[in-house]
Amino acid sequence: MKLFRTAFGAALLVTCLGQPALATTQNVIFNGTITPTCTLVIATNGTMTISPDLQTLSSHNSGGSAGTVTLTTTGGVSLSVDPVTTTTVPSADTTSTTWTPTYSSAGAHSIVETGSATAISTPGADLVSVHLAGTKGGSNRFANGNYQATVTLRCE
């Protein structure tokens, strides 16, 4: 009986050796979609100074400085500046001024200073410099007092 039991067990074991395991695998799929996105973080506002001929008030002039903005994007967006519509001038300034906003970019995307819209197709981070220049024509001059202007930097 003992011999029979041993032989039967051995035969059963040999039979099972050829059988595949019942374990199985299943893939788990992950999907992700990123729509165009951008973040603008204003680091510093700009400063305008007057030119020696008193006809240009600009961040490009000596002593002036550009505003700086950090741009982070996935790409697929456009960067632009709006015409300046919001200004404050001293009461002594009664002549018209032409305001010209521009911007340039350094970092993942190099943009030469421009006032036009720029398409950004690739992802990355940039430091955007925003400039503003006000000019007077003819014999007109900037007046003594405080000037303030707002430049709109748009990412869309």
Partner 1 sequence: MTLFRTLATTLAVGLIPAAAAAQSMSPMRGEVNSFTDVFAVRVFPANPYDQKIKIEIHVYDQDFQPVDARILPAAFQLGAQASRPVLVVVPFGGAAERKVRICTESIPFPNQQTQIRAQICGKFFGHRKS
105 touches 153 (CB < 8 A): no
87: Cβ–Cβ under 8 A, 6 or more apart, which residues?
Answer: 97, 99, 147, 148, 149, 150
Rounded to the nearest whole angstrom, what is the least distance from the CB of residue 20 to partner 1 in the complex?
43
Cα–Cα dist 147/93, whole Å: 10
Q: By C-beta, is 32 or 138 nearer to partner 1?
A: 32
Instruction: Convert residues 75-114 into a mask of x (bound to partner 1 by CB under 8 A) and - (unbound).
Output: --x----x--------------------------------
Q: 132: part of which helix (H) or strand (E)?
A: strand 124-135
Q: Quote the DSSP letter at residue 116.
A: S
| By the rule CB under 8 A, 48 interacts with partner 1 | yes
Residue pair 65/43 in contact (Cβ under 8 Å)? The answer is no
Cα 59 to Cα 131: distance, rounded to the nearest angstrom: 6
Cβ within 8 Å of residue 35, ≥6 positions away: 74, 76
Under rule CB under 8 A, residue 62 binds partner 1: no
40 vs 127 by CB, closer to partner 1: 40
> Residue 10 or 113: which CB sits closer to partner 1?
113
Residue 53 binding partner 1, by CB under 8 A: no
Residue from 10, 41, 54, 119 that binds partner 1 (CB under 8 A)?
Answer: 41
Stretch that binds partner 1, among 5-13, 22-30, 32-40, 110-118 (CB under 8 A): 32-40
Binding site for partner 1 (CB under 8 A): 33, 35-42, 45-48, 59, 67, 69, 77, 82, 130, 132, 146-156
